[in-house]
A and B are shown apart, each in its own frame.
Chain A
Amino acid sequence: MSDIYDEIGVRKIINARGASTNLGGVLLNDKVMEAMNIANQNNVDMDELFHKSGQAIARLIGAESAFVTSGCFAGLVQGAASIMSGTNPKFIRQIPDTTGMKNEFLIQKQMRYLYDHCIQLAGGKLIEVGSSDGATIDELSKAIGPQTAGILHPVHMENVPGTIPLDQIVALGKTKDIAVLVDAAFQYYPSSHFESIIKSGADLIGFSAKYMGGANSAGFVCGKKDRIEALALHSFVENEWVGIPPRTTGVQTFGRGYKLDRHDIVGMVVTVKEWLRTDQEERLADMEAKVTTIKQSLDNIPNITLEEKPAIAGNPPWVELWINIDEQNLGRTARDIEYALIQGDPPIWVTARYLLHYSGMDSCKENFGTIIIRPITIKSGEEHVVAERLRELLQS
């Protein structure tokens, strides 16, 4: 049966890579999709929906305050903007021109990552602290100057040796009266880890919906009430006046383009609710079963070793299968295999593991000779196709 993808001429793929943005995240949970459809049946005041949905999320996860955003990254950009602008309408109107504002954000050098660009987009400056061996709290403290607005802390980078953990960062922020902006995009498994981040006392914490079974372009920020209020002033509803007397500022906001639909916001609340009541053991067991199928198919193949990676705190909430390849003996690289899988029919997307090193423009890739399979996005039954194709490619 032909569908909308056939009509556009787009090939359907097997996604064995996980909730990647470039693969559109996960397929939406049925409950989320259903809520989105229901959301379409009525009109509402978006300003009211924003605030009530934020309150609902805050209650669900035990945060002081929360606000739905157009993805975690958009939340971090608005977060950085609001830390610099506060509630000053002149400053809000001015972003990304940060003249007159504290505009520096500190980051531990070995925590630099793909998305720290969120600071630059809001007009801030990223200041690296420490060296590639790590940073000390003392170094971080000394780096705080008159232009320091905050500290950016990507919590998933805490497993890099020599990094300072979140609790110490929050304590320093409090002492020095600067904001702590946390990227916790996928930090919600196990629940004790999720809770510890929410309760850490950080000023603003960004989360993404897609790792929870929600939309690719939705997320939320939670944290301190006054910080969330300032962040909300950068949102798209503020661009226009709502209510009499106006409940919004009518200030032309930097965040005007980070738009959301009613169904995105309702979908975000339902995503959180569903995540909190998911039986995590069952969810992971389903992924483990798929890993087992693929492992069995690759049993006894030379030049490879298999490693099952459990879901752990700090990593995305999923199980992975790592296929380490002796590229010399096999005569093919992990990248070759990744590419061959995409070229096949149906296309299968996996990840050939690499590490990006950042230093401004000069990012270079370090190849590990490993293929990573993430069963979270493999639909039931597709694991057999993945197993078979991998077997063919790794045997030849």
Chain B
Amino acid sequence: MTSKDESVYSELGVRTIINARGTNTVLGGSRFSEKVLAAMQEANTAHVDMEDLLVKSGEKIARLVGAEAAFPTSGAFAGLVVSAAGIMTGTDREKIMNLPRTKGMKNEFLLQKNMRYMFDRCIEVPGAKLKLIGDQHGASSQTLSDSIGPKTAGLLYPVHLASNEGAIPLASALSIAHEKGIAVLVDSAFQLYPLDHFRSLITSGADLLAFSSKYMGGPNSVGFICGKKEYVEAAASNSFLAYERPGTFSVGRGYKLDRHEITALIAVIEEWLDMDHDNRIKTMEMHLQVIAERVSDLPNVTIEEVAAAPGKPPWPQLLVHIDENKLGKTAKQIEQALIDGEPSIWINGGGTATNLNKNSLIIRAIDFAEGDDQIVAERLRRELT
């Protein structure tokens, strides 16, 4: 992206930033490509029936990604909420209207204890209960099988945590769940790369999967669900659209979408599937290389380049491990110093919720403008010296 117009932000007194952190929700996700922007503009030229648009878009997405059925949602999390709701209610109008009161419904979702994560709240929002199985070292297939009881509605499976110690692999979880007649809800928000990994999840036999659009370069507040037809229909029956059919109050009423968000979603999925991913990743690696070279000679610093891999967000990362004691600064302090500086640079210092990479800086070059790599490299060198 070349010229940047900052007027709408300077008017509000909001600082623009260099995003070296990734497509974080708190940074508003991605910036859109010209093609996505064009799809948004086009959407604003005509009125359509949202039901027609949502249903046909769902069909189109299903064709594109090779799923049985799909439906646009207001982000992956909202997709998980309406999916959890749909698993409990089916298309039963009375049940849909009762949520988050789940009396008379199967309302428990199992989750492996070592797969707990910051978005498992999606189960509680529509009124269900999360039931943890196993321990911090994992869970056995037997435990999963034994934990399925008369109140069990489904299994929540955040697939990015499948590599955690002792986690039951998705394929085994699916076969146990289906043998016992419960649904499997997969959080696969950013499981989009490589494309064969993406497709393997979609054809895994999972009942419902939720994806986010922002990792593909689409809007922050858009995503889609896909999976078995009857489950997608049940989830759609809990969406904002369902509320507009008089007399069906749905838990998803607040997860509204605009025409332009739905057309942007279609455009970004098409773009993602057609994209030269080797080239996309190579560009990011070149930016990271510029930064790595600028700081690799410094004492108290070790550089690690991590390639984009299945199960991870679809970008390479540069890890800068630091000896906090000798440097006299923590990773968190460096993160803040970069945010406070001019221009403001956002990286991830000290990892996130886990203790992993506690003493490291994580840099991702997903959205660099020309010259941003040099700026980040210089500023980082100053902070690490």
Residues of A with Cβ closer than 8 Å to B? 3-5, 7-15, 20-25, 27-28, 33, 35-49, 52-53, 56, 70-71, 73-74, 77, 96-97, 115, 117-118, 120-121, 123, 215-217, 236-237, 239-244, 248, 252-254, 256-262, 264, 266, 269-270, 347, 349, 356, 361, 363, 365, 377
Is the CB–CB distance between A259 and B221 below 8 Å? yes
In whole Å, how far is A310's beta carbon from the nearest beta carbon of chain B? Answer: 24
Query: Cα distance A239–B120 when bound, in Å?
Result: 12
Set of chain A residues within 8 Å of B240, measured between Cβ atoms: 21
- From B51, B256, B332, B339, A216 is in contact (CB under 8 Å) with B256
Set of chain B residues within 8 Å of A377, measured between Cβ atoms: 47
Query: Cα distance A354–B339 when bound, in Å?
Result: 55
Is the CB–CB distance between B48 and A13 below 8 Å? yes
Is the CB–CB distance between B78 and A259 below 8 Å? yes
- Given the known A-B contacts A9-B56, A217-B261, are A42 and B127 also in contact in the complex, defined by CB atoms under 8 Å? no
A-B contact count (CB 8 A): 261
B contacts with A, residue count (CB < 8 A): 93
- Given the known A-B contacts A239-B118, A242-B26, A361-B97, are A10 and B256 also in contact in the complex, defined by CB atoms under 8 Å? no
Tell me the nearest residue of chain A to B3, going by C-beta: A41
4 A-B pairs besides A215-B258, A260-B220, A363-B246 with CB distance below 8 A are: A10-B48, A44-B28, A45-B339, A216-B257
Binding site secondary structure of chain A: mixed
In whole Å, how far is B16's beta carbon from the nearest beta carbon of chain A? Answer: 4
Is the CB–CB distance between A46 and B28 below 8 Å? yes
**B residues 1-26 in Cβ contact with A at 8 Å:** 1, 3-9, 11-19, 24-26
Is the CB–CB distance between A243 and B246 below 8 Å? no
Q: Which of A13, A27, A43, A123 has the most C-beta atoms of chain B within 10 angstroms of its own C-beta? A: A43
Set of chain B residues within 8 Å of A365, measured between Cβ atoms: 246
Is the CB–CB distance between A43 and B16 below 8 Å? yes
- Asked if B230 is at the interface of the complex by the 8 Å CB criterion, the answer is no
Tell me the nearest residue of chain B to A3, going by C-beta: B42
Is the CB–CB distance between B26 and A240 below 8 Å? yes
Set of chain A residues within 8 Å of B62, measured between Cβ atoms: none
**B residues 220-236 in Cβ contact with A at 8 Å:** 220-221
Is the CB–CB distance between B26 and A237 below 8 Å? yes
- Asked if B49 is at the interface of the complex by the 8 Å CB criterion, the answer is yes
- Asked if B149 is at the interface of the complex by the 8 Å CB criterion, the answer is no
Please list 12 pairs of residues, one from A and one from B, whose beta carbons are closer than 8 Å in the complex, sorted by A's number: A4-B39, A4-B266, A9-B60, A21-B240, A25-B258, A39-B9, A44-B28, A46-B28, A120-B249, A237-B25, A239-B118, A259-B78
Set of chain A residues within 8 Å of B243, measured between Cβ atoms: 21
Is the CB–CB distance between B42 and A5 below 8 Å? yes
- Asked if B263 is at the interface of the complex by the 8 Å CB criterion, the answer is yes
Which one, B29-37, B165-173, B189-197, B300-308, is touching chain A? B29-37
Query: Cα distance A254–B4 when bound, in Å?
Result: 35
- Given the known A-B contacts A33-B44, A120-B100, are A257 and B219 also in contact in the complex, defined by CB atoms under 8 Å? no
